[in-house]
A = this chain, B = another copy of it.
């Protein structure tokens, strides 16, 4: 697997563009991503029971299994907008379909931004028409910037593998850095490939990859109303269709996971106000689910996150979070270490506990906490960031 330049237009047969429609920002806020031929499509969406109109539309269009385009706006989430919001989302698909001359049901729509405000549809329509004229194979980076809300940098990744004797490329872009002030609706991610694969194989692959990557990060523990991950496979590489049990499937899966993993990392690293990036690895759990439960409780504990900000090797808060996570534990076997330096052994402070050394580790920008629960062989890892003054500042400043 080789890292290559670019993002969603790194794979062959994809075009993208971006325009400023003036929805909220005075920079590009509409992105258009197009496959030059019908692509298989898979999608994973927010589990929030309050979900935005474009999410509902994507779920509907996903049933067709085919995508030609994805249109995205930032600045307005089109969430909690009722029947009018649903009509607006459909209209975005309709206009995109007309401009491109493709079926309406092959157009996917995503929105990110303020909740509860209607889309300024005149501006949006004009923007889409303009974007359709500016499509180019170099447009990936422009699209990656246009989907940002309070992200401080664009997030792209791409790799190349060999499959079926040909070079196959997988690229992607994402946005997200918290569920951002005043109420931006968080994570969007798009992965494109020129491999060929049927939707029925693509969907479980994407679900699994999402569970291992995007569902293993947390900034503030708030699940948004708009989270969307879409993957398109258009076959432009000319390889035969890939399928599970086929020779290159595993390689393909690894490459998709790699792209997703890099995008997920980029989101945590751009976490609102974050100063520290922490990987929490839980082992010895009764099941992988239990390990995930424990890791997530630590990652989302406000007390743990503020102690990271203060560079405090406060293992008491870590063990308390593990205790209330619901994961089965053997208290007298719990172990905790920071970057390999032991803090807890058998549920109590480790012999030779070295406070000075632990403090040094906690002062780094990046460190790993390993927690063993002593209850089995399950394991999981979650990536998180700290909770700083700036997080409170960003999220308490009134911006409606």
Contact = CB atoms under 8 A, between A and B. Distances in A.
What is the interface residue range for chain A against chain B?
Answer: 35 or more
Contacts of A81: 348
Contact of A317 (B222, B311, B319, B387): B222
A60 B182 CA distance: 50
B323 A51 contact: yes
Interface string A233-249: 00000000000000000
A388 interface: yes
Contact of A395 (B117, B225, B310): B310
Contact of A82 (B303, B319, B347, B391): B347
B116 A223 contact: no
A397 B49 contact: no
A58 B324 CA distance: 19
A337 to B, nearest CB: 15
A148 to B, nearest CB: 19
A280 B158 CA distance: 46
Contacts of A82: 332, 346-348
Given A344-B80, A349-B116, A47 B324 contact: yes
Given A324-B47, A395-B306, A312 B400 contact: yes
Interface in A259-286: none
A332 to B, nearest CB: 7
Contacts of A323: 48-51, 223, 225
Nearest to A324: B223
B395 A392 contact: no
Interface in A159-200: 178-179, 181-183, 185
Q: Is the interface of A mostly helix, strand, loop or mixed?
A: loop
Interface in A354-368: 355, 359
Contact of A179 (B303, B347, B389, B395): B303
A179 B355 contact: no
Contacts of A26: none
Given A225-B323, A306-B392, A398 B51 contact: no
Contacts of A51: 323
Contact of A389 (B79, B224, B392): B392
Interface in A208-227: 220-225
A331 B179 contact: no
B116 A348 contact: yes
24 contacts: A48-B320, A49-B329, A50-B329, A79-B316, A80-B344, A80-B348, A114-B316, A116-B319, A116-B348, A116-B349, A179-B320, A183-B320, A185-B320, A220-B302, A302-B387, A302-B391, A306-B395, A309-B392, A309-B396, A312-B398, A312-B399, A388-B392, A389-B393, A392-B392
